[in-house]
Structure 1
Amino acid sequence: AIDIDGESRLLTYSMTPVSHTKGHILGAVMVLHDVTEQRAFERVRSEFVLRASHELRTPVTGMHMAFGLLQERLHFAPESREADLLNTVTEEMQRLMQLINDLLNFSRYQNGLQKLKLAPCSIETLLEEARARYEGQAQEQDIVLMLDIQEPMPRLHADQSQLERVLDNLLDNALRHTPPSGLIRLQARRHGERAIISVEDNGEGIAYGQQGRIFEPFVQVGRKKGGAGLGLALCKEIVQLHGGRMGVYSRPGQGTQFYMALPL
């Protein structure tokens, strides 16, 4: 930040080297970008989403509970149109609740309101429990869910419940985009002073030109089945709060690997 005419402005910069035809560096070009208004807009948007999510949660929860009680009193033939309509309303109510929860959680992270409860965390236990939660669903879809851990792995100093949220999101994505008879690998290995934890599938993959935006909030690229484009953005916020980074490798038509690199 710098002061211009008594007003504080936020700047970002990029630098590009300038080379001589013979190969040596002559200098560099620096370009400054004033992002003051952009950051102010992002802050206002984040605060609005947080407040709106809080206000929406209570009435939607009440509607969901009331409809559940009503559904218990209604009895229709399983194959009837009425039963289909009830199931549709139930599914859409659940999606709405999930969207509100995702908005609320994402806003908490962006506003610095979410605090981590750090404790020693076993990577083996973290991954084994994640596989156990999704093994039944994988079997129903005729998908092999494989666990591959490079042993021995040191413990993380992390918030296990938040890392479970990341793995659940990645595994849910992988199961939705992997065809029957497919394979999903849940992997962990050590790379220097970081633990690399990844979820890899052999599904449809993501186009190269779209991979750069995959972690942006409210963005859906390539893999468009369900969701509001908040899951991966929330995962990235959680991993960054742990001092790590998140990335993706994908080849269209061959599969996708999402990974998180966490400090040991």
Structure 2
Amino acid sequence: MKDLINELQLKIERLESEISFKNGLISMLSHDSKEMFGNFLWLVEALEEKTIGEEDFLNLLPQIKSDARKNLQTIHDSTSWLKTQYGEFKIKPEKIIVMDLFHYFEEKYAAKLKEKNIKFYFKGNPNAFVTTDRFLLEYVLDKILNNAVKYSLPGQDVYLQEVTGGDQVILSVIDFGTGMAEKYLSAIFTYENAVFQGTAGEKGVGLSLKIVKNFVSLMHGNIQIISAENAGTTVSLFFT
């Protein structure tokens, strides 16, 4: 009976977590969409009514573009998450060579890395592998690496590190960028954290990391973030 009660309690906690995640996601999408389209509509109407000059209108366009790009990324992230919620989505474990992942992201991020003069390195056993769902793992590493590049200063290094111990594989993305203060780190997976700005002005609201945590859970793994302001961030994924 005690085991049954514990199992039911875990299911209740899992459902409450999922409901909270979904409600937060809907709230964020609603707020961001209203804000972006509201600002854009205000600008167009102001231009039509000549309450704002063309020069001022053009000066505001970069901000509108930045907000639109942020919202588009939010939609892309939400679409990826929705793929796991409807239909017959099931985890498809397969053997994934970690070095192959490194080369995949090295090529995908070549332009961004060159633009910020950031070197991307691999540390670990080149023959190491992890057995999990490729779609979920690539999404997770993509978002973590994107943040590492976003919050790194020109000339800094970023690492993908692999450590295998016993039956556990740890994949870590390590950067030496701006890092985060403890007050932000403690709320990184909630909907209470602030909007962060990258070293080149890139914006982010942290939605991708919330989905990352959800995807890591689907892969039956764990995630750990260690960060210090102006000292960098290490995001580690634990798989067994």
Query: Shared fold by TM > 0.5?
Result: yes
Specify whether residues 125 and 84 from structure 1 end up closer, same or farther in structure 2 by C-alpha distance, changes over 3 A only: farther
The corresponding residue for 1:26 is none
The corresponding residue for 2:191 is 218
Report matched runs for 1:52-67 at 5 Å.
Answer: none
The corresponding residue for 1:256 is 233
* Aligned counterparts of 1:227 and 1:116: Cα–Cα separation in 2: 28
Q: Which runs of 5+ in 1 are unaligned?
A: 3-9, 13-35, 61-79
1:183 aligns with 2:160: no
Tell me the secondary structure at the aligned position of residue 220 of structure 2: coil
Report matched runs for 1:114-153 at 5 Å.
Answer: 114-153=89-128
Kindly state the Cα deviation for residue 91 of structure 1 after the two structures are TM-superposed.
4.5
Report matched runs for 1:1-264 at 5 Å.
Answer: 43=19, 46=22, 89-106=64-81, 114-153=89-128, 155-214=129-188, 216-220=189-193, 224-225=196-197, 226-263=203-240
* Aligned counterparts of 1:169 and 1:120: Cα–Cα separation in 2: 21
Specify whether residues 219 and 175 from structure 1 end up closer, same or farther in structure 2 by C-alpha distance, changes over 3 A only: farther
Task: Name whichever structure is richer in strand by fraction.
Answer: 1
Q: Which runs of 5+ in 2 are unaligned?
A: 3-7, 37-54, 198-202
Task: Indicate conservation of the 8 Å contact 2:98/2:127, yes or no.
Answer: no
Task: Indicate conservation of the 8 Å contact 1:122/1:156, yes or no.
Answer: yes
Kindly state the Cα deviation for residue 169 of structure 1 after the two structures are TM-superposed.
0.7
TM-score under structure 2 length normalisation: 0.69
Specify whether residues 220 and 47 from structure 1 end up closer, same or farther in structure 2 by C-alpha distance, changes over 3 A only: closer
* Deviations, residues 144-188 of structure 1 (Å, cap 9, x unaligned): 1112232431x3221112211111111111111111111111111
Identity rate of aligned residues, in percent? 23
* Aligned counterparts of 1:156 and 1:138: Cα–Cα separation in 2: 26
Report how many residues are paired.
209
Question: Aligned-pair RMSD on alpha carbons?
Answer: 3.9
TM-score under structure 1 length normalisation: 0.63
Tell me the secondary structure at the aligned position of residue 154 of structure 2: coil
User: Using CA pairs below 8 Å that are at least 6 residues apart, which structure has the higher relative contact order?
Assistant: 2
